[in-house]
Structure 1
């Protein structure tokens, strides 16, 4: 599975978990739709869940005039995936690739403003992590 596809499937799984409190294994199985499992997909989903408090705090610190719970579910979970990649597995994926992928996925799954919003928040987070 390509990493883009793994990110999209991770977004779908985390969306399910966020909205309906689905178990992570069930959510992953559901989004795979009979396809073989993928290590990167699992790493993203379980990594976000494991580090959710730290990830959410980092996102919250970089939101202006917004709170995490007011964000669209797609945007919130896309930010979580990207922050997990930036903070916890940065040696595997270049920062600019993480940002570009998140922006492109936001264009597909988010609303008209999602890609700009995701870009702005992730740019601030990237800067804060590099300081």
Structure 2
């Protein structure tokens, strides 16, 4: 599984966890029944789940006229995923993490999601 696909799958699992209060490891196993369990996917899902409070704090510090609770679940999940990569995945350039997050937002969010995600992440890396 390439990293782009792993990110998409990680987003889907994390989104499910956002909606349903479940264990990350169980969600990974259920989601990957038909897929190979990818280490990058596992790192993303478990990392975001473990550091959720810290990631939300970083996001909150860079929001203008928004609160973390007002952000739609799709964008909030994508931001958490990207911020985890920015903070904990040193081998990934920040531009790649931001670009991947914007692509996810364009696919899974509405027409304004990509711009919103890009704006917040740009402030975080500045």
Q: Structure 1-normalised TM-score?
A: 0.92
Could you tell me how far apart the structure 2 residues matched to 1:20 and 1:50 are? 16
Residue by residue over 1:26-49, the C-alpha shift from the partner in whole angstroms, topping out at 9 and shown as x without a partner, is 221233241110100000011111
Question: How many aligned positions are there?
Answer: 126
Could you tell me how far apart the structure 1 residues matched to 2:39 and 2:95 are? 22
Q: Is there any run of 5+ residues in structure 2 with no aligned partner, and where? A: none
Residue 111 of structure 1 is matched in structure 2 by 110
Contact residue 25 and residue 46 of structure 2 kept, 8 A: no
Q: Is there any run of 5+ residues in structure 1 with no aligned partner, and where? A: none
Residue 84 of structure 2 is matched in structure 1 by 84
The CA RMSD over aligned residues, in Å, is 1.0
Could you tell me how far apart the structure 1 residues matched to 2:83 and 2:92 are? 12
Q: CA offset at residue 55 of structure 1?
A: 0.7
After TM superposition, what 4+ stretches of structure 1 lie above 6 angstroms from structure 2?
none
Structure (1/2) with the larger helix percentage: 1
Q: Structure 2-normalised TM-score?
A: 0.95
Residue 60 of structure 1 is matched in structure 2 by 60
Could you tell me how far apart the structure 2 residues matched to 1:109 and 1:33 are? 22
Residue 17 of structure 1 is matched in structure 2 by 17
